[in-house]
């Protein structure tokens, strides 16, 4: 099988690995920046600070597990000469944006387990948080759309 045929055969695995990596990286950045450095919130703020810190630890472990698992998938794709970087990066954006939109809508608003920040006017924070998530999803979707055909593979048939 040619390199291009391998890329086509493993197209969905490239997407899955990218989405998983995007989720892991977005969760890692959220936990590191907003939980640890800025102290804006914990993963679970409906209890004591100690419980919030423990929940942050589990959330941090999840983010690393997702990131490392995704990199194992990438290593397997590379071993098979089936890694498709452009498609993977599009999926990374979708995974990161999807995680952030889920966090901003489901966890922040629907479940109310924490807010982005505890201030009087949340609207600017919510708009930036969810707006940037939507932009990542759109950008990733455009990239994936452009890689949907065989001729989008570098060196692929026209």
Query: Which of the two residues, 4 and 104, has the higher pLDDT score?
Result: 104
Mean pLDDT of the chain: 91
Helices within 31-158 (DSSP H only): 49-79, 85-102, 123-146
Instruction: Say yes or no to pLDDT of 76 above 90.
Output: yes
């Amino acid at each position: 099988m040619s390199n291009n045929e391998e890329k086509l055969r493993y197209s969905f695995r490239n997407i899955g690995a990218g989405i998983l990596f995007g989720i892991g990286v977005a969760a890692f950045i959220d936990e590191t920046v907003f939980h640890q450095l800025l102290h804006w919130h914990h993963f679970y703020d409906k209890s004591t600070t100690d419980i919030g810190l423990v929940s942050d630890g589990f959330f941090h472990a999840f983010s690393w597990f997702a990131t490392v698992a995704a990199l194992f998938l990438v290593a397997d794709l590379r071993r098979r000469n089936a890694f498709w970087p452009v498609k993977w990066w599009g999926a990374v954006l979708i995974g990161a944006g999807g995680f952030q939109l889920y966090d901003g809508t489901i966890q922040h608003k629907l479940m109310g387990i924490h807010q982005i920040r505890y201030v009087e006017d949340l609207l600017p924070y919510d708009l930036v948080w969810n707006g940037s998530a939507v932009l990542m999803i759109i950008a990733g979707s455009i990239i994936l759309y452009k890689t949907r055909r065989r001729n989008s593979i570098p060196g692929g048939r026209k």
